[in-house]
Each structure stands twice: as structure tokens, then as C-alpha cells.
Chain A
Amino acid sequence: MDKPITLREELGIAWKIAGIRLRGQMAYRTSFWLQIFGNFFTNFAEVLALFAMFYQFDTLGGWTLGEVALLHGISMIAFSLGDLLTVGMDSVAPQIRSGDFDRVLTRPLGSWMNAATSEFSLRHLGQALQGVLVLGFALTQVEIAWSIDKALLVPVMFISGIALFMALFTIEAIFSFWTVNGVEAINAFTYGGSDLAQFPMHIFGRSLRFIFFWIVPVGFITYYPALYLLEKPDPLGMPDWFVLLGPVITTIFCAVVSWGWNQGIRHYRSTGS
């Protein structure tokens, strides 16, 4: 097999690996379900907080409960699926420290793909399920005048959202190629970003908005698509086509992260035995 592996083949392999690992985990069926439910309930507080808030106020920055729930649902689904697809990234830092990362580099798979699949867990489905429920609730509360462009927007929105969070989870791993501690700071952007993206961005101050639109572009994956779906005017006064910036900025973001990952790989030192 002298041909370089194609992306399609890599995805196929990743899929099969996930299947085999899943089968392994299903052997411990109770623990498997417990993990998913555990994950479901850890994130339950967020949803409760949302309802508590609207118990006090009717609107938040001009948005109703249903409308904010829409943001919550999108953000939770994108975040949890992004997390699910990059579970292996959590183990990159310890693997680098122990030198076990060596084996990631002896396999005929892209190093990122290999690292991402070095662990596998479905526990994040718990949060995804919750996101789906919240989204379902939101859809019963808001009126969306569906059209072709809106229908097309939905998959684009989810794909760029998931990709963005995958990239964010990768950044933390990238830093561990250079430094052994202090990478938790990156978490603030990932987790903070997903939290912020659950609210209408215009309620935040200028500097937070700047960060979460132009540096960690989570604002583009929930806020503008939601405005578009709901046909609400943008209090920030940006034009309609801003809704298209999401995928564009995500693509740029992913490209930068992918470059950073490759730099990290070249910088990898392994460990002396």
C-alpha cells in the first residue's frame, strides 16, 4: 500500500475503531449508561438556571425564554458533540508527558485523527441529549417561518459549531507540546465561550464581545444564525450577511489550529527512557 491514505479512508478507519471500542465499553453496560446519565445531570444546573432566570424576568435583552433556549440548545449540541469527537485530546497532555504519544506517531493515520481516536467515550451524549431536549422546547416556544435558506442554515450552523469546539479542544492539547502546566487557562475560552454562546451576545460588554466574536468566534455559531432564523434585527447593527461569517471564520480558525497542531508535532520531544 504505497498510496498515501485519503481523508475518506481515515474517517472510515476512525469510524471502525470507534465501533470496536464501543463494543468493548458495552461489556460494562451499567457503567456505560451511568456515564451518560451522569453527564446529563452535571449539565442540568445550566438549564435550571435558565428557567430560574425567566421566572424573574420576561425577557433578556429583548429575547424571550424560547429564543434564549434556542441559543442554549444549539450551543449545547455543538459543544457536546465537539467534545465527543475529540475525547482523545484530553489524553494528549498526559501522553506527551509520559512519552506514550510516541505510538500515535507510529501509525499510518494523521496524527490529529489518531490522537482524537486514542480515547473514545459516549458520555457526552448525555449533554447532547439535553441540548436536543432544550432545542425541542425552544421550537415549541418560538415561531420560525421556515424557508429553504433557513433550512440550509441549520446543518451549516451545527457543522461549524461542532468544528469550532473541536478546534478549541485541540488548542489545549497543542499547548501541551510546549509546556507541561498552565494549559488550563485555555479552558476558560472553551467553556466560557460555550457559556456565552448560550446568551444573546449583545447583552455583553464590548471587550467580551470582541473576544468571543473575533478571537474565539463562538458568537458566530449561535447568535447570528439564531437572529437569522428568528428574523430579529441585530441590536449590534451588523448586516444580514454576518450570518455567513460563521462557517468562514470557523474555517479560518480550524486552519490556524491545524497549523498549530503540526507545529506541535514537529516540536514533540518524546521522553528519555
Chain B
Amino acid sequence: MPIIDVHRLEKTFPIKKHRTGAMGSIASLIRGDNGGEFTAVNNVSFKIERGEMVGYIGPNGAGKSTTIKMLTGILVPTSGEATIAGLVPWEKRKQLAQKIGVVFGQRTQLWWDLALIESLELLRHLYRVPEERFRENLATATDLLGLGEFLHTPVRQLSLGQRMRGDLAAALLHDPEILYLDEPTIGLDIVAKEAIREFLITLNRDRQTTVLLTTHDLDDIERLCPRIIVIDHGEVMYDGQLASLKSRWGGRRQLIIDYAGDPDAAIASMGNGDMAVTEVDGPRVTIAFDRDEISAPDVLTRASAFGEIRDMSIQEPEIEDVIRRMYDGSIPAGM
């Protein structure tokens, strides 16, 4: 049985008409905000098995956070169903909270006015974590996330990266089965990002924690998520392996060739549909080719007619490109 099972989930928000003043509030109380409706999440379905690490990606405003909020029980959906670890989130919110960890990149779960360690202590009581388990988890988190240097610093004085690490530790104190991460690396420097990625990989490997991660950062996806769900305008556009997304639709790889000298100028018009020279820069030539149409050695053989080849390298398609092309509509949506 999938640990996350989402079926035709939909969420609409009323579009606010701005009324002001006390009369305005009373009017909106009585009549509701009748400015029409906006569909933030539309007919979203997916299943995630225990132990999977899935990237939930899409441009700003796609409906990622809204989905996560329904799967934690923060928001009640307009229609549709979801079962998370056997529970309907918005009906069994309290019980579910014990089984999930939530990290919102832009919002801390910690108490601003308390030292990090005190916040963690508080959460220990909130989640009824046995003392011994708490110590173990704290030790692991301190070790892997390097919390030691700022455990006793008030949360409001932590840097974004430190706070994020604190939040991660906090979300995992009670050994959740599922971890939701909404933009966990937003605004972080490379080092902090990397620390968090390493940590998540370890967590997923050692504890089989199921991870659902939204992000803008496609490096996060490349490093962490074998499977991605792409969403845009509230609808699922792709659900499957990252690798097959790349190979099926990101088809165009690039071959970069360094000639010993400047190649024959005719190279610019080499190829016909199966490959194309995209750039000639002195002795360096970039050729894009479709791997379903032609193999790299064949491209190389044909390129060798234009000069002596000294070196070459192949670039896999960038996930950015693939997804950008998907949004542009140049890739058919769906599986």
C-alpha cells in the first residue's frame, strides 16, 4: 500500500475583493468574498511508496505548497481524497502530525525567543519523544548537521543556513515516517545546501524515511530525487523517473569537439534534423544531437571529415532545459 495516496485532489481559493473598514468586514463575513474562485491545485493524483524520495517541482505559483499543506492537514481540500500513512490528513490531523515531519523553507518551526536546544526540548514534549530516543536523535543531528556550535544560540540570531539545519533536526526528533520539505534550500549558500542534501540522503538510506520535496533548485533534484512529479498551473504534467524524463524528452545531448586547428567552415551546415551545430568558437564546436536518431560515435565520425579532432566530451541534457521546454509546451505533457 502506498504511504502517500492522493486522488483527484483539488483546492480553490476565493479571489478576494477588497472591502475595507468594519462594514466591509461584516459584509464579507455575511456574504463571503464573492470575487470568484481561483484553482490552485487541480485534479492532482499520485502515489508514493514507503522509502521513496520524490521531487515535487514546478514554477512559482504552480501549487506545490498548497498540495503539501493539504497533505499535512493544514488546508482542507475543496474536493478529492488523500491517505497519508493510512490517515486522511484533514480529518486526523493530530494523529498524522505524530507520523510526519514538516519543514517550510520560508517559515521556521522553532521559537524565535528560545535557544535552539530549548526549542528542541519543547518539541520533545510536544511529540512525546522518550528521553533516550531524543538524546540519540539529537546526537545524530548534531553530528550530521553540525548543530553543536549554535545549540545554545537564540533562534532569532541564527543565520538562515543554521536555522534551516535546526528546523531539519526539529522535524525529525520524533522519527517521522514521512518528511515533507517545502523549498528547504531556498536562500542557502552552496555549503549549507550540500550539508542538507547529504543529510537527507543519509536519512532516506538509513531509516527509509519517505521524502516529498518541493524545490526550485534543480540541483537538489539531481542529487536527491530519482522520481519527480512536475506540476504547473495546479496540474500534474509529468510523473516518473528523472532519468526517463531526460532521455525521453530531454533527448538532445551535446557533443563538444575540440579540433587541432580551426575546422572547415562548412561544418556550420553539417547535419539534417538528426543533429545540428549550435556553436562554432574557433577550434571548439558544439553539436546537438538526438540520441534516438544518431549515436555519438556516428556524430564523431561525420565531424572528423572537417578537421583533426583532438578532444571531445558529451553533455547530458540539463534538467533545467528539459523542464523549461516542458513548460514552453514543446514537450507533450503526461507520461
Interface residues of A (CB under 8 A from B): 1-2, 4-5, 9, 13, 16-17, 20-21, 24, 99-100, 102-103, 105-111, 175, 178-183, 185, 266, 268-270, 272-273
Top 10 closest pairs, chain A to chain B, by CB? A182-B25, A108-B97, A179-B25, A182-B22, A108-B98, A16-B125, A105-B74, A106-B102, A102-B74, A108-B94
Interface string of B187-229 (1 = CB under 8 A from A): 0000000000000000000000000000000000000000000
Min Cβ gap B231→A in Å is 15
Neighbour of A182 across the interface among B21, B69, B102, B109, CB < 8 A: B21
Tell me if B72 and A4 are in contact (CB < 8 A): no
For the complex, give the distance between the alpha carbons of A100 and B75 in Å: 13
For the complex, give the distance between the alpha carbons of A62 and B46 in Å: 73
The A-B contact count (CB < 8 A) is 99
- In the bound complex, residues from chain A placing their C-beta under 8 Å from that of B294 are none
- In the bound complex, residues from chain A placing their C-beta under 8 Å from that of B98 are 1-2, 5, 108
Q: Which of B3-50 touch A at CB < 8 Å?
A: 13, 20-22, 24-26, 28-29, 40
Residue of B nearest to A118 (CB): B111
Tell me if B95 and A105 are in contact (CB < 8 A): no
Tell me if A266 and B125 are in contact (CB < 8 A): no
Residue of A nearest to B130 (CB): A1
A180-B25 CB under 8 A given contacts A99-B107, A105-B73, A108-B97? yes
Interface residues of B (CB under 8 A from A): 13, 20-22, 24-26, 28-29, 40, 61, 65-66, 69, 72-76, 90, 92-95, 97-98, 100, 102, 104, 106-107, 109, 111, 113-114, 118, 121-122, 125-128
For the complex, give the distance between the alpha carbons of A178 and B25 in Å: 9
Tell me if A106 and B26 are in contact (CB < 8 A): no
Tell me if A4 and B74 are in contact (CB < 8 A): no
Residue of B nearest to A1 (CB): B98
For the complex, give the distance between the alpha carbons of A5 and B128 in Å: 10
Given contacts A1-B98, A107-B97, 10 further A-B contacts (CB under 8 A): A5-B98, A9-B128, A13-B125, A20-B122, A108-B98, A111-B93, A178-B28, A182-B24, A182-B26, A270-B74
- A16, A179, A183, A273 pick with most chain B CB within 10 angstroms: A273
Tell me if A2 and B95 are in contact (CB < 8 A): yes
A106-B125 CB under 8 A given contacts A4-B94, A24-B114? no
For the complex, give the distance between the alpha carbons of A100 and B69 in Å: 12
Neighbour of A17 across the interface among B21, B93, B104, B126, CB < 8 A: B126
